[in-house]
Amino acid sequence: MEKVTERFIRYAKEYTTSDPGSETYPSTDRQIVFMKKLTDELWEIGCSEVKLDKFGYVMATIPANGVENAPVVGFIAHVDTSPDFSGENVQPQIIEKYNGKQVQLKDGVTIHPDEFPEILQYKGQTIITADGTTLLGADDKAGVAEIVTAAEFLLKSKEIKHGKIRLGFTPDEEIGKGTDHFDVKKFGADFAYTLDGGEIGELEFENFNAAGAKVVVHGRSVHPGAAKDKMINAALVAHQIITMLPPTERPENTEKYEGFFHLTAMKGNVEKAEVSWIIRDHDSQKFEDKKKLLTGIIQQINQRYGKVVAEIEITDQYFNMRQKIEPVMFVVDIARKAMLQAGVEPKVRAIRGGTDGARLSYDGLPCPNIFAGGHNFHGPYEFVPVQSMVKAVEVIVNIAALVNEIKK
């Protein structure tokens, strides 16, 4: 418990926010700064084949300790934190024996059980929060800390026999670029697990199909006093497009397997406006239908004005990994058994988002997702129970041992 707590707090204080506007890879030098420290630490605990490459990926090996012919399993986590909220100067707060009441932080930020009832699951446990001015970064510094802590344990243990294990740490996951340059062949695992899930027990092997959409509206600026039948107000046209999408298919109105259009940015004036969405759905046909719906709306707008007023660009980002995991469901079964051995009830769910594992699965590395323990990611209300992190470490160790039951 002390190891994973100390490690997580140390990692959380590192400023590793990624930048969606950057044209470099990784998107920020601060991620490299942390990766260099992580590389040194992996050497120090006894890992071999530790390598930081030019793209900011860190890979390392826990050598086999007498087990032959077992598959090579990998564990992966990302080091960047979300640009949605400040990740600079994070000051973790340790709350021992949480009493079930509201947690008062700086700047009027309160984690209140009425608003975040899930916190009551951890009454009596030790929880870690930020101080109210930043996010905490348990997404995914908790995963990083859990993997490194499990690695240190396995490297020191003589009782737990295991085959070769590979560790991977990625940048830029939060901006959808976490696996852009990930070399699956060099990683050399037969299958892997991302430690990037939420509450204790989460086990996920399906996620959203994802796309990004950008619409540019070209208006016609005319003096408002002489604008009749001449002006085309780009900002108002953009607003029209937004309102033509079904309001029931917004994130705030959806749950479980329901997809959505999420308006992420808009700017503009009379002359020009730009609007961006992310499009999500677990079902591939519904995903395609959503893209067609938005494209059709743009066509309607252009027909209304008799010319190309609005242009749209849709870019696929990642796809539902279920299609790639189902043929090798034993990797999910191993994780489920590892959780039960740790006294954790598996909660098999569909991810309402994506992980590095989704793209890696399509690149030939089956990679379901396991809980890292945190809640309320990407904002000041984030918290992670220490006991959940400890159980994640235990699950990793159990998986390492269970893989030996499978022969190549």
Report in angstroms the alpha-carbon separations of 3 from 19, 59, 125, 168. Answer: 30, 21, 17, 20
For residue 225, the number of C-alpha atoms closer than 13 Å in the C-beta half-sphere is 0
Q: Can you tell me the distance from the alpha carbon of 395 to that of 65, in angstroms, rounded to the nearest whole number? A: 19
Q: Which domain holds residue 176?
A: 2-207+320-405
Amino acid at 272: K
Same structural domain, 240 and 375? no
Q: For the chain, how many residues are written? A: 408
CATH number at residue 203: 3.40.630.10
Q: Which one of the listed residues 139, 140, 172, 173 is annotated catalytic?
A: 173
- The position carrying tokens 């030996």 is 404
Q: What is the pLDDT of residue 150?
A: 97
Same structural domain, 266 and 199? no
Q: What is the pLDDT of residue 80?
A: 96
Name every residue whose Cβ is closer than 8 Å to that of residue 314 and which is 6 or more positions away in sequence: 211, 212, 213, 279, 291, 294, 295
Same structural domain, 192 and 91? yes
Cβ atoms of 31 and 80 closer than 8 Å: yes
Q: How many domains does the chain have?
A: 2
- The position carrying tokens 């240190």 is 152
> Model confidence over 271-281: pLDDT tens digits?
999 999 999 99
CATH number at residue 217: 3.30.70.360
Same structural domain, 68 and 202? yes
**Is residue 80 annotated as a catalytic residue, yes or no?**
yes
> Model confidence over 243-265: pLDDT tens digits?
999 999 999 999 999 999 999 99
Q: What is the DSSP letter of 72?
A: P
pTM: 0.88
Same structural domain, 285 and 332? no
Could you say which of 302, 318, 334 is where a domain stops? 318
Same structural domain, 93 and 187? yes
Cβ atoms of 173 and 355 closer than 8 Å: yes
Q: What is the pLDDT of residue 355?
A: 79
Q: What is the pLDDT of residue 393?
A: 98
Closest to 382 in 3D by CA, of 146, 114, 87, 28:
87
**Is residue 289 annotated as a catalytic residue, yes or no?**
no
Q: Which one of the listed residues 14, 41, 80, 140 is annotated catalytic?
A: 80
Same structural domain, 33 and 69? yes
CA dihedral 280, 211, 366, 192 (to 10 degrees): -90
Q: What is the pLDDT of residue 407?
A: 66
Could you say which of 318, 339, 367 is where a domain stops? 318
Cβ atoms of 331 and 368 closer than 8 Å: yes
233-236: Cβ within 8 A, 24+ apart: 233/270, 234/268, 234/269, 234/270, 234/271, 234/272, 234/273, 234/309, 235/268, 235/269, 235/270, 235/273
Amino acid at 6: E
Q: What is the pLDDT of residue 408?
A: 60
> Model confidence over 88-119: pLDDT tens digits?
999 999 999 999 999 999 989 999 999 999 99
Same structural domain, 21 and 47? yes
Q: Can you tell me the distance from the alpha carbon of 217 to that of 309, in angstroms, rounded to the nearest whole number? A: 6
Same structural domain, 177 and 227? no
Same structural domain, 44 and 148? yes
pLDDT by residue for the chain (408 residues), tens digit each? Answer: 789 999 999 999 999 999 998 999 999 999 999 999 999 999 999 999 999 999 999 999 999 998 888 999 999 999 999 999 999 999 999 999 999 999 999 989 999 999 999 999 999 999 999 999 999 999 999 999 999 999 999 999 988 999 999 999 999 999 888 999 999 999 999 999 999 989 999 999 999 999 999 999 999 999 999 999 999 999 999 999 999 999 999 999 999 999 999 999 999 999 999 999 999 999 999 999 999 999 999 999 999 999 999 999 999 988 999 999 999 999 999 999 999 999 999 999 888 887 788 899 999 999 999 999 999 999 999 999 999 999 999 999 999 999 988 766
Kind of pairing, strands 191-197 and 73-78?
parallel
Could you say which of 276, 301, 318 is where a domain stops? 318
Q: What is the pLDDT of residue 38?
A: 98
Same structural domain, 151 and 281? no
Q: What is the pLDDT of residue 2?
A: 84
Q: Quote the crossing angle between the two packed helices 234-244 and 284-305, to the nearest 10°.
A: 140
Same structural domain, 226 and 246? yes
Structure tokens at 32: 């490299």
296-302: Cβ within 8 A, 24+ apart: 297/241, 297/244, 297/245, 298/215, 298/241, 300/244, 301/237, 301/240, 301/241
Name every residue whose Cβ is closer than 8 Å to that of residue 134 and which is 6 or more positions away in sequence: 85, 86, 87, 88, 89, 90, 91, 380
